[in-house]
Structure 1
């Protein structure tokens, strides 16, 4: 077993992008992350580290997640997979793994993974209606109209709603939450909600 194989297996099992631990204490924001959501007085036991998407065409996915949404590639390699820990593909298959981050250097990352040799069979067209087990990824941006318009031009994107005002009840009796957002399926059937928080 090569060092790269061991590293890849550890990353897939632990959800880590590097062999280092997150610092025990991190700087807390001065204000709540959102109205009605307080910063925990003590660190919670778990961070939502990353969501990894198994994709048909990783270059096409990069055109969305990197070029349109604006995430930054921080890792790009070919790994050997077991087919067990991550139950996909055949044991010993090669897959390309790309990790992208937004503004936080630790949480909220997106992974893209495409099996190269042998390939995973294409499942065919994805459904255009969601059901149990479906995934919605909500992302925040300062230019929702521009990013939604650019996403709509990419191959494989299915827009389900153009940018429009959405109003949600506030948390804990607080003011309404007002966002402008659009919704679309990515090239592999993951529903993306792009939001811009309004004052």
Structure 2
């Protein structure tokens, strides 16, 4: 069996606020929410004894595509004063397949997200060679992670 990437974990300023954003914008649900103490070995952040909280959210699958929200409780971790306005080298771009891209953008806007691209129509040729009409938009979450949200409107035969 080949390895799979099952989750991406991101450091967040406020676990409850971030959890609410993902639940409201993408309809994710909590899979796990637990405090834990860092061992100081495996994670390349913080130090041994730091108290953290890990919230894991899922969409439709219980194994892949989950999001982890890691909050430092004690000591609080310093966060950048300003959130990014462009994607930097080494930063992820999360791509979401949505049934309602416009709605996701409006929910993100209502919760205070910075919008990069309003919904727009575009066409792409998929890996199967078929053209797909899409609606796409993009925005940042409340901690500065970038999301491209795409909705398939029509697949051409």
Asked if structure 2 preserves the Cα contact closer than 8 Å seen for 1:81 and 1:93, the reply is: yes
Matched, 1:83 2:40: yes
Which one of the candidate residues 105, 108, 122 is aligned to 1:166?
122
Larger radius of gyration: 1
Displacement of 1:131 in angstroms is: 2.3
1-side partners of 2:45 and 2:29: how far apart? 26
1-side partners of 2:29 and 2:59: how far apart? 6
Matched, 1:94 2:51: yes
Matched, 1:152 2:109: yes
Alignment of 1:110-121 (within 5 A): 110-121=67-78
Structure number with the higher strand fraction is 2
Give the length in aligned residue pairs.
154
What is the root-mean-square deviation in Å for CA atoms of aligned residues?
Answer: 1.4
Displacement of 1:82 in angstroms is: 2.2
- Per-residue CA deviation, residues 47-99 of structure 1 (Å, 9 max, x unaligned), is 12000111111122112111221011010010101233112122101111011
2-side partners of 1:121 and 1:131: how far apart? 19
After TM superposition, the score normalised by the length of structure 2 is: 0.91
**Which 4+ stretches in 1 moved above 3 angstroms?**
none
Instruction: State the match for 1:178 in structure 2.
Output: 133
Which one of the candidate residues 119, 122, 147 is aligned to 1:192?
147
Asked if structure 2 preserves the Cα contact closer than 8 Å seen for 1:138 and 1:193, the reply is: yes
Relative CO higher for 1 or 2, CA cutoff 8 Å, sep ≥ 6? 2
Asked if structure 1 preserves the Cα contact closer than 8 Å seen for 2:19 and 2:55, the reply is: no
For structure 2, list consecutive stretches of 5 or more residues without a partner in the other structure: none
Asked if structure 1 preserves the Cα contact closer than 8 Å seen for 2:24 and 2:107, the reply is: no
Instruction: State the match for 1:68 in structure 2.
Output: 25
